Amino acid sequence: MMKPFSKKRKLHNLLMKLLMWCSAGVTGALTLFLIAYVLLRGIPNISWELLSTKPSYLANTIGILPDILNTVYIVIATLVFVLPLGVGAAIYLTEYARNKRLVAVIEYTSETLSGIPSIIYGLVGMLFFCQFLGLKTSLFAGALTLVIMNLPTIMRTTQESLKAVPQSYREGAFALGAGKWRVIRTVVLPGSIDGIITGCILSVGRILGESAALLFTAGFAHALNGFFKGLGSSGATLTVALYVYAKEQGEFEVAFAIAAILMILTLLINLMAAFTGKRLKQRRDK
Amino acid sequence: MQTKNHKKKPLETLVHGIFLVLGLVTVGCVLLITVYLVISGIPAIREIGLVKFLFGKEWRSTASEPSFGILPFILTSVYGTAGAMLLGVPVGFFTAVYLAKAAPPKVKTVVESAVGLLAGIPSVVYGLVGMLVLVPGIRKIFNVPDGASLLAAIIVLAVMILPSIIKVSVTALEAVPKEYEDASLALGATPVETYFRVSVPAAKSGIAAAVVLGVGRAIGEAMAVMMVAGNVANMPSLFQSVRFLTTAVASEMAYSSGLQRQALFSIALVLFLFIMLINAALNLLLKRGNAK
């Protein structure tokens, strides 16, 4: 009954299938290779001594405790600033803004921000935060630079989850006589907490991986400091330390140890983001 | 009731105002970045001369008679990005079609999380692996004195842009109405023909947006490239050590001063203009995709 496929059609089908399989295979294999290579070369070099000391020129040892702490400090400082800004902006866009033009402008600038390369953030951060505001090269200046970088991420995820709060919740609360702010505070925000958390996780991932923006704003010192003193002074995060150890000092063992730590953290963050993201999606589709 | 409402109003107006300000923060940030880059980037261009700066073939910023021509950087960035696209787009495209249309659910989950992971790996880790695997590899295979070259940068960039290309293309392909595909299948097309002759054309602006996004990522990447490209201000050639726009800024910033420093800001301004163009194109494509 049916005409058999011509040779050309068969060939096309086979070729396209092959290309799809090969490409997906290459992507998967690359990821697998990267993970395996970094973990295999890195994990043997991770020792308690490396994790718990600071570099010492006298004993000629390298420790990455200061870099770990700096990373933690910068994550905390960035989130403290970016959360209110990003969530606030998202609330404005979804709950308050009536002017379509203004919304378009804000969304366009947010897209623009997420497209700007980190080296440019680093440069402007250096000019504005370090020099103009007089913060010098410090973790705090680095954190403020990262605040601008992560603003779009927090805004987008918060906006998505705000939109997923059913309109009827708001109407119900309004009908009971609540003011707009009260509705947002007691009904809308609690209902969108999962989106905000997803945004936080994604931001932490970005902060952990960022290096170009921090090189000239946060510097690369390895001093062991407390939180507030640390924020005020120059310090390398794990990524910056990796760069310095690998490129400038040729300490590849330490670099791989840091890379393995970063890889494990990336894996964890991806898992967490996938988990919270899935919950967000389920709620939206309901 | 009426009085209560009146009492509430000042608070509500205040809160509204606060949120308006928060909403305008991104606008302020973009303005801040633009203004700073323009103000700090213009002086050096004025002093050197626009044509000499953009089309000068020599960059000798620390010589006794310095010359500041950034054509090598511009061309390296353009060639490097184009090369990364040449390698990355086909792989990304076919992977995306496979994931969106053909893959069994289990395979799809696995490969998709692999792609998510690729996106999350810090660029310095790519740089490190590139330094220790790719650079020696290129030296051995092509028998060149130093493997730190444009080719190494192209390969690293191609891997780094894969996740952006795949993710955005998958989203676009998944948004194609199922009716289109059903109709094509009902007319006797095979599934594979349907994917490539119906779904892909229907999602073309989304896929184009994915490619443009990849261009933006590739042209803006600094650290990974810095670790594998060798960083000498040569005119681009596949097996030579080269410097990109991004790495030109990063590699001299730490010790620069005077006109040299100002010239670095001008390079950043040129890079910024490239990115703004790419952003505008991206927005256009995404809008066109949504309008349909």
Q: Encoding tokens for residue A3?
A: 């005409």
Closest CA to A57 of A218, A219, A223, A243: A223
Any residues with CB less than 8 A from the CB of B11 and at least 6 apart, and which? A179, A181
Residue of A nearest to B269 (CA): A120
How far is CA A33 from each of CA A36, A37, A279, B111, rounded to the nearest angstrom?
5, 6, 30, 14
On chain B, the residues whose CB falls within 8 A of the CB of A24 are 94-95, 98-99, 103, 107, 111
Enumerate the domain spans of chain A.
70-237
| Yes or no, beta carbons of B227 and A247 under 8 Å apart | yes
For residue B2, the model assigns a pLDDT of: 45
Contacts of B282 in chain A (CB under 8 A): 111, 115
Length of chain A: 286
pLDDT tens digits in sequence order for chain B, 292 residues long: 444 444 557 888 899 999 999 999 999 999 999 999 999 999 999 988 888 889 888 888 777 788 888 999 999 999 999 999 999 999 999 999 999 999 999 999 999 999 999 999 999 999 999 999 999 999 999 988 888 999 999 999 999 999 999 999 999 999 999 999 999 999 988 999 999 999 999 999 899 999 999 999 999 999 999 999 988 888 888 898 999 999 999 888 877 788 888 999 999 999 999 999 998 888 888 887 666 5
Q: Which of residues 173-202 of A touch B (CB under 8 A)?
A: 179-181
Specify the 3-state DSSP secondary structure of A176.
coil
ipTM entry? 0.90
Radius of gyration of chain B (CA): 24
User: Å from A49 to nearest chain B CA?
Assistant: 22
- Enter the tokens of residue A56: 């010492």
Token output for A272: 């967490």
The beta-carbon neighbor of B29 closest among A113, A119, A216 is A113
pLDDT at B292: 52
Nearest CA of chain B to the CA of A191: how many Å? 19
CATH topology for B51-291 is MetI-like fold (1.10.3720)
CB pairs A-B closer than 8 Å = 251
Task: State how far residue A271 is from chain B, nearest Cα, in angstroms.
Answer: 9
Residues of B in contact with A214 (CB under 8 A): none
What DSSP string runs through B7-44? HHHHHHHHHHHHHHHHHTHHHHHHHHHHHHHHHHHHHH
CB contact under 8 A, A117 and B133: no
Buried b (16+ CB within 10 A) or exposed e, A161-199: bbebbeeeebeebeeeebbbbbbbeebbbebbebbbbbb
Mean pLDDT by 10 residues, chain A (286 residues): 75 92 94 94 89 80 89 94 94 90 91 92 92 89 94 92 88 88 89 88 92 89 84 89 89 92 93 84 72
Mutant choice from A8, A10, A19, A23 vs B, greatest count of B C-beta within 10 A: A23
B230, β-bridge pairs: B242
A70-237: in CATH 1.10.3720.10:
yes
- Taking only the tens place, the pLDDT of each residue in B25-36 is 999 999 999 999
Q: Model pTM?
A: 0.91
What is the distance in angstroms between the Cα of A149 and the nearest Cα belonging to chain B?
A: 10
